[in-house]
Structure 1
């Protein structure tokens, strides 16, 4: 398995080597999705009816589950979840179209080694359907991960309340542990979902089967995937903050959209698109590294066991060796 630094260097090298392709075709496809994501996050505070309804529903759910209303963690979690859901609803048409097409364009170019050629629209359009199915399944998996986490927290807080351990200090400690648990589960879920999109675009599978393959490949190598996702997500967060500071703040003070502000906003959205492409390239390189490393591990085990096992046990291991391909 390659180290994180080597994968990052390969990602940057691949991007710079094919700079014209990634900054033209793929970036232009991702541009409308980037604009919708940046604008939706800015428009959420102005859409108070939608945000207040989602916030109220989540607060009712948290109160019914027995979560402590005085906990700052659950108050902040409720607010962030409400904003994320509202932003996702506003940007979902562009996410399901332009964003997936941009990812399909990058995956097709890297998988078929056709980066040097300008591909036709139909060449990577065939990848759109499996990516769309997998993306919808990923949404279900993310909701299931959130529901499972809230169920565990529901049991934990109700057990504490039934046992009489409901002091503010204990609630603070448990809330901190809940924040760590939620962050770890959500980060692992997002990594598996990103990897499943690459698998859907390279292998002949989609949906939950691609997610299952991603879970098999990522097993035991989560730390590498987490450290690889950190720089890209940090870059995306910085671009979002830059858009809020340079565009939304200036527009809210002047209350008019000048040509200079519009041009700067387009440049920031284009920069956001480039980070999305870098994330997709890194996921493709990670997938190739995971696949080759898994194959090498299985082959080394097969050679060792071939010398030390009987024929019946060897047949059983041969079946397990081919299990990722069978899936």
Structure 2
């Protein structure tokens, strides 16, 4: 009897079928030989599916390893945007009041009662819209460069090398077009998500109001809709953040980067939600402190603004920096996890085919 197979396996004779242990050893050897080499990660730093706490610990380790580069990125690229965004120096207060009044009238026509919570929400939403619109040139330059620099620095960390400005500038020249394309796609996705929610919320509240339901019930429906939307919006932000990382490290841009992000984080959305929740709590906390301690004279004669303002700007920049590093680490974790799953599927299929051929040959 002759075993007619074109695959030779070390340590396995042609006249005897491979045992389960030999197949298992072969599988482990193949996995070890097919580790991705294009990720810039040394074998002792290979990723696995990481939890949010593990990603946070890895982020601290990376911040310590390339601390000089991250400090320079925070000072030159993140702090200027944070100072302008927190202070709202470019936003006209009269425009904010006008937009707030319009939003309150729209909410009132939809059946929502004029409560302090509704008015405050309309004011905060108006400030956020105008601040984002005014700061868009800073977001598409300084903020986008800072995200690319953070992702490149994380990649350098896993490649066991230091951040070099010359290499980064050369990288930016090559990927700038796809960076801008992806960022515009991200902005369109976020704006579309917000617009869809507001239209649906207004339609639902108007319908309940026309049917004669009480204002308390309408508010309850609006709150429930807001909670559902917050989860959807969080997932959209996670996809957009990973999409920015993808356009830096992979040759894909625009909607393709967002689609690649959706596929990559499949099964890891809970970790992404925890990362988003932590960063959101940090930014909202610092924004609240800046609002009450710097923009509003809450105590004394305002002398504390001299040191509290810059301190809060630095704190906000650090939160933004940490969030960017965690998103990059989350990308590497998701990509490595998807590679392992893909390798396991291919190897299981190959070993199954091999076993089938072996069985057929022995039956013959």
1:178 corresponds to 2:225: yes
Provide closer, same or farther for how the CA distance between residues 80 and 186 of structure 1 changes in structure 2, counting only shifts above 3 A.
Answer: farther
Contact map agreement 2:234 2:276 (CA 8 A) in 1 = no
Deviation, structure 1 residue 33: 0.8
Deviations 1:104-155 (A, max 9, x none): 1111222244762432262343344322222221111011111222343345
Of the two, which has the highest radius of gyration?
A: 2
Structure 2 counterpart of 1:166, from 205, 213, 227: 213
Runs (5+) with no aligned partner, structure 2 = 1-48, 354-364
Partner in structure 1 of residue 27 of structure 2: none
Partner in structure 2 of residue 116 of structure 1: 162
Provide closer, same or farther for how the CA distance between residues 158 and 263 of structure 1 changes in structure 2, counting only shifts above 3 A.
Answer: closer
Distance 1:254 1:91 in 2: 30
Structure 2 counterpart of 1:299, from 332, 335, 343: 343
Structure 2 counterpart of 1:141, from 189, 203, 213: 189
Deviations 1:160-204 (A, max 9, x none): 456x46123432331221121121122111111111111111111
Deviations 1:250-309 (A, max 9, x none): 499747xx7x74454233322322221111110000000111112222332334455669
Residues paired across the two proteins, number: 300
> What SS does the corresponding residue of 1:116 show, helix, strand or coil?
coil
Provide closer, same or farther for how the CA distance between residues 202 and 286 of structure 1 changes in structure 2, counting only shifts above 3 A.
Answer: same
Partner in structure 2 of residue 196 of structure 1: 243
Structure 1 counterpart of 2:124, from 80, 97, 109: 80
Deviation, structure 1 residue 233: 2.3
1:285 corresponds to 2:332: no
Provide closer, same or farther for how the CA distance between residues 263 and 71 of structure 1 changes in structure 2, counting only shifts above 3 A.
Answer: closer
Partner in structure 2 of residue 6 of structure 1: 54
TM-score by length of 2: 0.72
Runs (5+) with no aligned partner, structure 1 = 310-327
Distance 1:168 1:69 in 2: 6
> What SS does the corresponding residue of 1:83 show, helix, strand or coil?
helix
Structure 1 counterpart of 2:270, from 220, 223, 232: 223
TM-score by length of 1: 0.80
Structure whose residues are more often helix by fraction: 1
1:129 corresponds to 2:172: no
Distance 2:137 2:265 in 1: 30
Partner in structure 1 of residue 110 of structure 2: 67
Partner in structure 1 of residue 42 of structure 2: none
